[in-house]
Amino acid sequence: MVDATEEPTVRTRVLNGVAVPSVPPEEEQDYYPNHERASIRSLRRHVRRGDSVVVVGGGWGASTVVAARMTHFEGEVTAFEPSSEMVDTIRHALTVNGVTDVASVEHAAIGPVREANAKYFGPADGDRLPPEAVPACDVLELDCEGAELAVLRVLDFRPRVIIVEGHPHIGCPGDEVKAELDRLGYDVVDEGTAGMDDDLPVITALRDERKGPT
């Protein structure tokens, strides 16, 4: 007989070097060293000490933790995540990885929400914010399940770095992302892939000071 007073075992996934405890009653431990490898690689290369970083689409929280580490705990990282289930997971991850002093999560979606995503991440039950609600930052990561172009098209500031995970199957193909980044005055410096089938383009771009103001 199970003692109802016992604390449930929490499963921990290790996602590209980031421990991410999930909700009980799962247990054991999984390792995914290539989780979001292109986005996380770019964060490790381009986030600087003291940077402000915004992550639109927090997911499991691995990107948020990595960004916080790369600021050398002297910056500020904010993740936006529409699902309360994933918000809880991100908060666990921030606590376990010791980055709560510089990283936080907002329970909100920025840009349009596809209800079909609920089967993967849980219901999008957070606040709904317009695409122009992205706060100014030094580094912007967009992985918001098809809302990436909507955000880029109304972006009224110029981060030093923009990292975008495209979603061609839901109206956000990589070539359109690159065209929009070029319009905004950015040079693509890295391209990779994400997704279970490596079919999602991940594009990293740096602001070209010659093409426009910050």
For residue 27, pLDDT over 50 is answered with: no
> pLDDT tens, 120-167?
678 899 999 999 999 999 999 999 988 999 999 999 999 999 999 999
Over residues 1-29, mean pLDDT? 59
What is the per-residue pLDDT across 84-124, written as a single tens digit (0 to 9) for each? 999 999 999 999 999 999 999 999 999 998 876 666 678 89
Is residue 90 within 8 A of residue 18, CB to CB? The reply is no
Q: Is the pLDDT of residue 3 over 60?
A: no
pLDDT at 24 over 50: no
Residue 65: pLDDT band (50, 70, 90) is: very high
**Topology (CATH) of 33-207:** Rossmann fold (3.40.50)
> What are the residue ranges spanned by the domains of the chain?
33-207
Nearest C-alpha neighbor of 107 from the set 82, 134, 79, 78: 82
What predicted TM-score, i.e. pTM, was given to this entire model?
0.86
Mean residue pLDDT of the chain comes to 88
CA angle 178/208/169 to nearest 5° reads 15
